[in-house]
Structure 1
């Protein structure tokens, strides 16, 4: 009896499949290899489900606040959302192509652009952003849970004047108006903390669901959120007898053209990190082009519909209840319950609408955070971290940063975090230029898992200097505008930089794309045009894949000819 350190290390390694054609190494594990056929479970409707939860979420609902802040009218904001959604769909198709055809995700694909060691940079960058955003998404999920419980245990609000008659001093009881037992410096309400704990207890088991099995949860989450959206829409329009006065607000931007472009960039920036990691999901496709239709149709449709409902409900609810504009539907539900005095019928409506918000936070945390971040963290230590373990690490970090402090006190930090498109856009441009233009879809997949000079993706000491130069070229012109925006600088000397920063995603992507392409034209990397499969799973671009056997023959499309390729295992 007893154990040894080598034995413990072996037990802690990530589990492998039976009859695995890979080993857990510094560069490889089950979640990083090209997805084998038995795990490709996503069809056309599965990807529609993916985009419904990605496009129909609280972030899309609140998009109107950003667009109206640019000085657009509500009608112009809706047009921006439609155009931006279409461009986001096209970008998702381009970014997801390598997953759809080579079954690898962003973590592995970044190796052929940045080098085996250089790939750690974009992976760490995306992991950091994912952890921060998860913390805030989880906190909003906790608040939605708090509102849901508050609808069941509302308490009473008694308003009394100095003579004992209802007027001013508020005495509260119950969960909806629970007194705060935390210090004011914590910027955390007791009821929000309880809601967060309950939400996390429900979310953590969800990480046990493998990505290829998430189709049904997608449908459930979307159904509940849709019910919440249309319920709020029906209530607000019927009570306000229309979309509200704010919906008739004219454009106030001095230059509508610039504002329109800023709005499109805001849409692309909001979904930029998601499109950058599209291959994390398209690698589960049953067949080629399965994700394409949903990316081109469901993306603009869901984003535009959710944002439009958000604008109408926010406008109408302001006319109904008065007060300030409330863009967050979670806070709006709490205000509705208080406005109607916690009557039983209203509490029932708030309860069911809150369920939709809770489920929405579940789904968006999985789609845009846990799976992609889990795979990124797996890429940093594949022997011991897979997607599931990476998701647990992300959850711990996301809560450890105390998102309630960030949301309450660190406006500059939030501005910086929102400005991370400055870094994501150049990374997207490099990936698109390398895969589509420089390499023309030809990958030597086995070399993406070799950590030495025998790999064509080793470059110079594991780093592709071209990618870093292109990244800096796409990033530096945007930094002055980011600094000016974060610090609220004004003046003519900052106007041009701020305008350029407001076009972050378009400018950063285009500049890094062009610079990387030019560098590779004059200094071509080794291995261009080389193509090879990973182990015995043929995932060459354009290959017809028969059933597995000890000896298989594949047909590879080369121009108008089909060339037979024998593969012996």
Structure 2
């Protein structure tokens, strides 16, 4: 072998994820730095940090556009605002229970899946979430690129009308592509920021987006002398009760994936209950305020600009600049407002996509993928899906992607039942990183069949409604299935919760009630003398201390 060349074992060693100095863990098939229970020195999120997290999650373009979904159910704007407040509170309550294992055990969703699905079975929900996250990131990135295009167009008016050099079949404008490249160049370095250091970026993005929202609100209401005609239109739903329930489910579905992986972020909490207040207050407040502003601005701007109702604030900003013939004052306003939209797309892509998806992908190959590397994989896959094609031509695909609540809801329900009811918050953490039959969570061949049965039970009643919605089948014979589908998150969660509970009662699993630390004799990073030790097979005896 030539001098200075590396052997294959050396190359593999260098490609492995970095390990902390004096680390008490190793990179294995089940473990790396980003999957271990977060040690005390990396728990940097307090009460205000979680307010920042939820303001970023709730104050975003998706929340702004929620009104279009709720009004399409036949609700009046006032009824829609009530739905948003109640739905936001229920989302926050769901986040509290989904994030419980993060607060108590400081583990994320990827590791948490192992005690419900089995060590090998956990790959299924992890792959499912990763797929959805990659697709949604591509779309969020494209919207970020369009916000960047509007921002540049406010500086250089001719940029908005520059010649398109792409073919018509590509469904991509040259200026949109340039905006996407610039947005990606700014986003990729943000992936280098560790999750425990994101509080300040969260705050900055929130301030920018709030400035955009209230600036557009002041402009619209002052110019239209009120909220506009749309805001005062009556509800058109033949059954207000059904429409109200559909609306609540829509809110839960929109933020459901985020609540399912809530432990990914809650595990960074400095102390117990630090995230709870923000989950119950900041979550519903920010979603409700942003959605209300979206309804008012859309209504007032429609009166001013006329034409088609524009729910997307990015496109609305471009329309405003066109309407006022790119006057200097309007360009300045559009610039600062679009800056908030760009910042919002940065923050939401980090919160709901890069960190969570990075951790999920890390769980698939922990030796070589950590959060940062997983986020880069997500970026490549997300852009490779060509989101501009999906957004322009694939209505059915988008309907399917939006219908992934059909799968997320049952996954949420069975996890809640297993952790809160069956196991009563007791976990043997060391066994969540042991991939053989000595682990309590190995079950049969690494798979817990109960989880798959509960998942299927919560999913299959919703599939006919999903198919009818995607294919726009006649509502006459499908109305019952469509109504059930419109209650996706509530129905899917409830069924899988009850089935998982019943299966564990009828077919009990071994080791329920057994708990223990990640490292023997160390709890929450503090060493303690342990009187009882594990035997050779890892069977747990009664530990001398427990997690509280």
Could you tell me the TM-score, scaled by structure 2's length?
A: 0.96
The answer for the alignment partner of 2:317 in structure 1 is 333
2:186 is paired with a residue of what secondary structure?
helix
Q: Which structure 2 residues correspond to residues 168-317 of structure 1 after superposition, within 5 A?
A: 174-317=158-301
The answer for the alignment partner of 2:138 in structure 1 is 135
The answer for the alignment partner of 1:25 in structure 2 is 28
For 1:386 and 1:566, the matched residues in 2 are separated by 31
The answer to whether 1:94 aligns with 2:60 is no
For 1:125 and 1:566, the matched residues in 2 are separated by 36
For 2:328 and 2:458, the matched residues in 1 are separated by 56
Q: In the TM superposition, what is the alpha-carbon distance from 1:258 to its structure 2 partner?
A: 0.1
Q: In the TM superposition, what is the alpha-carbon distance from 1:491 to its structure 2 partner?
A: 3.5
For 1:508 and 1:564, the matched residues in 2 are separated by 37
Q: Which structure 2 residues correspond to residues 452-491 of structure 1 after superposition, within 5 A?
A: 452-491=436-475
For 2:513 and 2:119, the matched residues in 1 are separated by 19
The answer to whether 1:318 aligns with 2:302 is yes
The question of whether the paired residues in 2 share the 8 Å contact of 1:551 and 1:566 is answered with: no
The answer to whether 1:56 aligns with 2:40 is no
1:446 is paired with a residue of what secondary structure?
helix
Query: Could you list the per-position Cα deviations for residues 448-492 of structure 1 after superposition, in whole angstroms to 9, with x for gaps in the alignment?
Result: 000100001000000000000000000000000000000001142
The question of whether the paired residues in 2 share the 8 Å contact of 1:143 and 1:192 is answered with: yes
The answer to whether 1:413 aligns with 2:397 is yes
2:248 is paired with a residue of what secondary structure?
helix
For 1:566 and 1:408, the matched residues in 2 are separated by 57
Q: Which structure 2 residues correspond to residues 315-394 of structure 1 after superposition, within 5 A?
A: 315-394=299-378
For 2:408 and 2:129, the matched residues in 1 are separated by 8
Q: In the TM superposition, what is the alpha-carbon distance from 1:552 to its structure 2 partner?
A: 8.4
Query: Could you list the per-position Cα deviations for residues 316-368 of structure 1 after superposition, in whole angstroms to 9, with x for gaps in the alignment?
Result: 00000101100000000000000000000000000000000000000000000
Q: Which structure 2 residues correspond to residues 473-512 of structure 1 after superposition, within 5 A?
A: 473-512=457-496
1:175 is paired with a residue of what secondary structure?
helix
For 1:499 and 1:537, the matched residues in 2 are separated by 53
Which among 111, 128, 131 is matched to residue 125 of structure 1?
A: 128
CA 1:28 to 1:199, structure 2 compared with 1: closer, same or farther past 3 Å?
Answer: same
For 2:263 and 2:102, the matched residues in 1 are separated by 4
The question of whether the paired residues in 1 share the 8 Å contact of 2:530 and 2:543 is answered with: no
For 2:88 and 2:528, the matched residues in 1 are separated by 46
The answer for the alignment partner of 1:165 in structure 2 is none
CA 1:357 to 1:552, structure 2 compared with 1: closer, same or farther past 3 Å?
Answer: farther
Q: In the TM superposition, what is the alpha-carbon distance from 1:549 to its structure 2 partner?
A: 4.7
Query: Could you list the per-position Cα deviations for residues 162-218 of structure 1 after superposition, in whole angstroms to 9, with x for gaps in the alignment?
Result: xxxxxxxxxxxx211111110000000000000000000000000000000000000
The answer for the alignment partner of 1:170 in structure 2 is none
The answer to whether 1:548 aligns with 2:526 is yes
Query: Could you list the per-position Cα deviations for residues 297-317 of structure 1 after superposition, in whole angstroms to 9, with x for gaps in the alignment?
Result: 000000000000000000000
Query: Could you list the per-position Cα deviations for residues 345-392 of structure 1 after superposition, in whole angstroms to 9, with x for gaps in the alignment?
Result: 000000000000000000000000000000000000000000000000
For 1:178 and 1:258, the matched residues in 2 are separated by 47
Q: Which structure 2 residues correspond to residues 394-409 of structure 1 after superposition, within 5 A?
A: 394-409=378-393
CA 1:211 to 1:536, structure 2 compared with 1: closer, same or farther past 3 Å?
Answer: farther
For 2:300 and 2:528, the matched residues in 1 are separated by 66
Unmatched 5+ residue regions in structure 2? 532-541
For 2:54 and 2:476, the matched residues in 1 are separated by 41
RMSD value, Cα: 1.5
For 2:279 and 2:12, the matched residues in 1 are separated by 42
Unmatched 5+ residue regions in structure 1? 155-173, 540-544, 554-562
Q: In the TM superposition, what is the alpha-carbon distance from 1:493 to its structure 2 partner?
A: 1.5
1:271 is paired with a residue of what secondary structure?
helix
Query: Could you list the per-position Cα deviations for residues 114-153 of structure 1 after superposition, in whole angstroms to 9, with x for gaps in the alignment?
Result: 0000000000000000000000000000000000000000
The answer for the alignment partner of 1:432 in structure 2 is 416
For 2:94 and 2:399, the matched residues in 1 are separated by 24
For 2:126 and 2:375, the matched residues in 1 are separated by 15
For 1:431 and 1:277, the matched residues in 2 are separated by 11
